[in-house]
Amino acid sequence: MTELELKYGCNPNQKPSRIFMRNGGELPVTVLNGKPGYINFLDALNSWQLARELKEATGLPAAASFKHVSPAGAAVGLPLSETDRKIYFVEGDRDLSPIACAYIRARGADRLCSYGDWAALSDVCDADTAHYLKAEVSDGVIAPGYTGEALEILKTKKKGNYNVVQIDPDYAPDPVEYKDVFGVTFQQGRNEYRIDESLLANIVTKNRGLPQAAKIDMVVALITLKYTQSNSVCYVKDGQAIGVGAGQQSRIHCTRLAGTKADNWRLRQHPKVLALPFIDNIRRPDRDNAIDCYLSEEESVWLLAEGSWERTFKTRPEPLTAEEKREWIGRMTGVTCGSDAFFPFGDNVERARRSGVQYIVQPGGSIRDDNVIETADRYGMTMCFTGMRLFHH
């Protein structure tokens, strides 16, 4: 197929709309089910690149959960802990496939933002992954292939309208890309800079300790940032993005946003949250929304609101106090923070530290690098300068 007509572009008034190959060649994607739209394909092609590169760099199956052309989460396929299974609503106790674990962890980074996501898988979608996708609110999935069982499961989702796209894993795009804005065509070389552990050699802090797990987390952060709308900052732990701050105009706001998301990820593991007495058969989105309200600064107002908690919980839950939140977040350690451009001030390091960050990876190059390094040294952090900016627009 050389082109595919779409219902409309970003908005219903933007017609005509299609995807096609500028060189007249065949599209590298095949729609196996559903009718993906313009934004669906933007998410699909960006998320696929992230998942593919993450597997190439780590050797592990990888997945991404995309919303509005930025990742809500990304992860490699490490096994799920018992706590993971609880906070990501994994039913049963049998071991799941690595690619299923990768997607479950990617979506689990920020389940609220992953509502209605586009999923990307580095490996063939299997039944484990399909079963989990079927239970979640998702717009579609892209993968290099699907088992027969997985495809049949996905075809039953959304009354048979779930978007399933297969991409040719051997497809290589032209080295030059184009984009039209206001009738003006932009041209640039594709960002083919290879991200791997060789970028992490320039450690600029006094603490030079960089265990293998932290190296993997740095690679996860950098590849996630490569496909996140700039400015962007990403927090990673155990091969999983736990907080992505995208599209902010100032670096500190990226760091704060990503840090707040990482804190919420951590708070979802608090014993009080794990013990919330949900009513039977509550929908997953309602459960996610309830947890978000429970953890918000307005939780006391929400809990006191007439009829709010009765529609969600069997009994009225005990509030999680601000002191309890600070103490629980304060226990988090070993987190990696990555930035798509240099930290201009030490305040970014200060904020990252509050969310358990021990390792930082960023391009460097600020006139205040000395201040940023000094701040990292004050807390015994390890920081790498890559010399590579990762803006994405």
Question: Are 240 and 315 members of one domain?
Answer: no
Catalytic-residue membership of 191: no
Which of 319, 338, 353 is the last residue in one of the domains?
A: 319
The CA–CA distances, whole Å, from 16 to 1, 164, 234, 296, 314 equal 18, 23, 36, 42, 51
User: For residue 164, which of 172, 175, 153, 173 has the smallest C-alpha distance?
Assistant: 153
CATH number at residue 337: 3.40.140.20
Active-site residue among 67, 215, 226, 237?
A: 67
Task: Say whether 46 is catalytic.
Answer: no
In a shared domain, residues 278 and 233 = no
One digit per residue, pLDDT tens: the chain, 393 residues? 789 999 999 999 999 999 999 888 899 999 999 999 999 999 999 999 999 999 999 999 999 999 999 999 999 999 999 999 999 999 888 899 999 999 999 999 999 999 999 999 999 999 999 999 999 999 999 999 999 999 999 999 999 999 999 999 999 999 999 999 999 999 999 999 999 999 999 999 999 999 999 999 999 999 999 999 999 999 999 999 999 999 999 999 999 999 999 999 999 999 999 999 999 989 999 899 889 888 886 655 555 555 567 778 888 888 899 999 999 999 999 999 999 999 999 999 999 999 999 999 999 999 999 999 999 999 999 999 999 999 999
DSSP state of 230: S
| Within-domain flag for 184 | no
Distance from CA of residue 387 to its chain's centroid?
24
C-beta separation of 213 from 238 below 8 A: yes
Looking at the fold, whether 51 and 103 belong to one and the same domain comes out as yes
Measured CA to CA, the distance from residue 198 to residue 181 in angstroms comes to 36
Question: Quick one: 194 exposed, middle or buried, by C-beta within 10 A (0-12, 13-18, 19+)?
Answer: exposed
Same domain, yes or no, for 24 and 160? yes
- Rounded to two decimals, the pTM is 0.95
- Dihedrals phi, psi of 278, to nearest 5 degrees: -65, 150
Domain assignment present for residue 106? The answer is yes
Distance between CA 358 and CA 290 in Å, rounded?
A: 31
- The C-alpha atoms of residue 291 and residue 302 are separated, in whole angstroms, by 11
Domain count, the chain: 3
Q: What pLDDT was estimated at residue 220?
A: 98
Task: Region of 364 please: left (phi>0), alpha (psi -120 to 50) or beta.
Answer: left
Catalytic residue among 68, 86, 131, 158: 68
Tell me, yes or no, whether 393 lies in a domain. no
11 and 89 together in one domain: yes
93 and 35 belong to one structural domain: yes
- 86 is annotated as an active-site residue: no
Q: Among 46, 163, 231, 348, which one carries the catalytic annotation?
A: 231
The pLDDT tens digits for 135-187 are: 999 999 999 999 999 999 999 999 999 999 999 999 999 999 999 999 999 99
Which of the listed residues 151, 167, 183 is the one where a domain comes to its end?
A: 167
Residue 123 and residue 225 in one domain = no
On whether residue 178 sits in a domain, the answer given is no
| Type of residue numbered 1 | M
Is the CB of residue 333 less than 8 Å from the CB of residue 266? no
Domain assignment present for residue 183? The answer is no
Same structural domain for residues 211 and 77?
A: no
Tell me, yes or no, whether 294 and 150 share the same domain.
no
Domain of residue 314 covers: 274-319
Is 282 in the same domain as 225?
A: no
**Coil, strand, or helix at residue 85?**
helix
Q: Which residues contact 357 (CB under 8 A, 6 or more apart)?
A: 235, 335, 336, 337, 349, 381
Say yes or no: 221 and 146 in one domain. no
* One-character DSSP codes across 249-298: SSHHHHHHHHHHHHHHHHHTTSHHHHT--BPTT--HHHHHHHHHHHHSTT
Q: Is residue 12 part of a domain?
A: yes
Locate 259 and state its tokens: 């840090």
One domain, residues 133 and 8: yes
Residue found by looking up tokens 């088992």 in the block? 147
- In the annotation, is 393 catalytic? yes
In a domain, 176, yes or no: no
